[in-house]
Chains A and B, each alone.
Chain A
């Protein structure tokens, strides 16, 4: 790395990236992009692994702000955020409690539905449930009560890892296994066909605002792992092709979900809009991806902002205890 001269007027920002997670690779890619953008703003940026030396790194680097650019467990499940809070160093993103609620899709769905946000009908099945109950019977009841097609997904996971769209009931068992290898709790959800949207929410201290929605149209098939991280595999429409009225409703759902879940500084709310223009909440992302193919950066650019200014503003907001 080319050493940058420290600009004493600018913040020292420690990025935590990597970790032991299925999304480690994505986290490292996100962090390198964030570091580039922040460095262009004059910030001093240090990338660290969240390992056994974490407290030592914090002591040595003396960051003004920490940004846990971590995807997946520990980074998004609140555990690390609890520890960061104890250090007293301000950090970007949701606090531990909000992260715990939002990271678990089944909890997030339950909470947002309480304020009237629609979310596809689903069943949450911990692996332990099958120790006492007969799996084939349960799956039969589930597939009868929630009509096909279904989406089977780990309750706590990201980047579409372990997610299967089930259109034939015979595929359900395999889909369950493919989800359980990522997480001990699995959600079976009714597949809502429609326009897939990702709405990024930013809060710099003056209230949460929704950035232009990204409409996702994979070139072929689902918006799976490869479609997310291979440039060219997906077409994006930013802002999404919607009427002004629908666009406002979509933004409101995103902001409401962000605020209800207690998220902070930034989040990404994924949803589907069906043919009747019903907006269905799918999940909230505590630390959205920030790679070159990720959705939050697309929204920032569509809002005529630069990534550097936006990311630096998030750091300033965290440093001042705002957002």
Chain B
């Protein structure tokens, strides 16, 4: 049939396949990602993406900001800028960070293209293949993507309703050290975590800092949600207790708008120097326009009032989500976030949230499967609900549909027995 079969070369649609760096293997298309395409249809209630509700931001305010910026610093806003970021904005960020107990020099701040970029720069500085990153269980999906890309080993540390467990952290460190592994840093989102919604308690902050100090492990504190508390302020930032051992990541994406792509990193001076050089290598400089728009906004607008507005919007949505969970999914455990964007659900035993997603798409609701938040395949029986973007009515509708999906999936599991679900 195929006389010449072994002599012919097949057509490979990627002619550069042999040229990629080994780390490119961490990047591939996925069926789950393709399924998310439906969320752009209005019929689908998306509880998947953690998108801020930017409609709550008065656009005329930004129009005014733009006009003022163009008439006062227009040329500078359209020009290249400093690799470390605009000094005026850096000074204003100090004021913002002071709200969470951080006092710093403007010299130690670096502006990045979103805090995601800051984390990528840090990972590039610190991670070699096989190095260990300690992270919450579950941890932020975007951080996991970066750590994987740098071929790090992600060691998840048990996390409960008070955040990461210090005892479990100590155990993980002992385990890694006993195995001869090199631990590079601990990464965590201590306030209203993504995806868990939980907040690290104040006593645990001190305990974790002490454990890390003892083992000379750097802490990366990622805090995009800290100012979005609903009732009480969360404890002070970990960086406020330790200047040398904590790198702090902040962002304007949640308290203003992600479209600007502006975040910042507060790092000890030696690390800061390398960060600035890395930032310049990657980008030359962060967007001058975005930085100056934000700087002008902070200088002229009542930004604290705007954050209050966001808090009110997200509190109402959190309440709608918890009420809907109570009404439609009373048997499903959820975290009870006191700020931020997310609920973290634990499904009845045997249900695999990733495998269930096509059924959810059929029922016009989307969520993020729990496995996305682990680097080791865990989280099959979890899923994340984001309540930040849909209206309260849509949140209720979405959770009602999710209940239908879970019921249908439970029926399938019941029909096909214990081996039908997760083995």
> Which A residues fall within an 8 A CB radius of B?
18, 20-26, 28, 49, 51, 127, 130, 135-136, 139, 161-162, 170, 173-174, 176-178, 180-182, 195, 215, 217, 225-226, 229-238, 241-243, 246, 273, 277, 292-293, 298
Contact = CB atoms under 8 A, between A and B. Distances in A.
Interface residues of B, number: 43
Interface in B371-423: 409, 412-413, 415-417, 419-421, 423
A226 B41 contact: no
B38 A236 contact: no
Nearest to B413: A177
A113 B8 CA distance: 33
A229 B420 contact: no
A231 B420 contact: no
A181 B10 contact: no
B420 A173 contact: yes
Interface in B1-18: 1-5, 8, 10-14, 17
A127 B5 CA distance: 42
Contact of A18 (B28, B41, B358, B362): B41
Contact of B11 (A20, A195, A238): A238
A286 to B, nearest CB: 19
A22 B361 contact: yes
A293 B13 CA distance: 7
B11 A298 contact: yes
A241 B29 contact: no
A230 B29 contact: yes
A181 B357 CA distance: 8
B27 to A, nearest CB: 9
4 tightest A-B CB contacts, nearest first: A235-B10, A232-B14, A25-B37, A231-B14
Interface centre among B34, B35, B423 (most CB of A within 10 A): B34
Interface centre among A195, A241, A243 (most CB of B within 10 A): A241
Nearest to A293: B13
Contacts of A230: 28-29
Given A232-B12, A241-B4, A176 B34 contact: no
B422 to A, nearest CB: 8
B43 interface: yes
B322 to A, nearest CB: 27
Contacts, number: 124
A245 to B, nearest CB: 9
B281 interface: no
Contacts of A182: 358-359, 362
B30 A226 contact: yes
Contacts of A136: 417
Contacts of B8: 237, 241
Contacts of B37: 18, 24-25, 28
Nearest to A174: B420
25 contacts: A20-B41, A22-B38, A22-B361, A24-B34, A49-B41, A130-B415, A161-B31, A176-B412, A176-B416, A176-B420, A177-B413, A177-B416, A181-B355, A181-B362, A181-B412, A182-B362, A225-B34, A232-B12, A232-B14, A234-B12, A234-B13, A235-B11, A237-B11, A241-B2, A242-B1
A227 to B, nearest CB: 10
Contacts of A234: 12-13
Interface in B264-309: none
A200 B4 CA distance: 23
Interface centre among B1, B364, B421 (most CB of A within 10 A): B1
B26 to A, nearest CB: 13
Contact of B1 (A25, A139, A277): A277
Nearest to B30: A226
Interface in B340-368: 355-359, 361-362, 364
B12 A178 contact: no
A49 B38 CA distance: 12
Nearest to A292: B13
Contacts of B30: 225-226
B51 interface: no
A162 B419 contact: no
Contacts of B1: 195, 242-243, 246, 273, 277
B54 interface: no
A232 B11 CA distance: 9
Given A20-B38, A243-B3, A231 B31 contact: no
A225 B419 CA distance: 24
B417 A135 contact: yes
B421 A181 contact: no
Contacts of A26: 34
B420 A236 contact: no
Interface centre among A130, A174, A182 (most CB of B within 10 A): A174
B31 A20 contact: no
A135 B415 CA distance: 6
B70 interface: no
Contact of B17 (A178, A217, A232): A232
A231 B34 contact: no
Given A22-B361, A242-B1, A292-B13, A229 B34 contact: yes
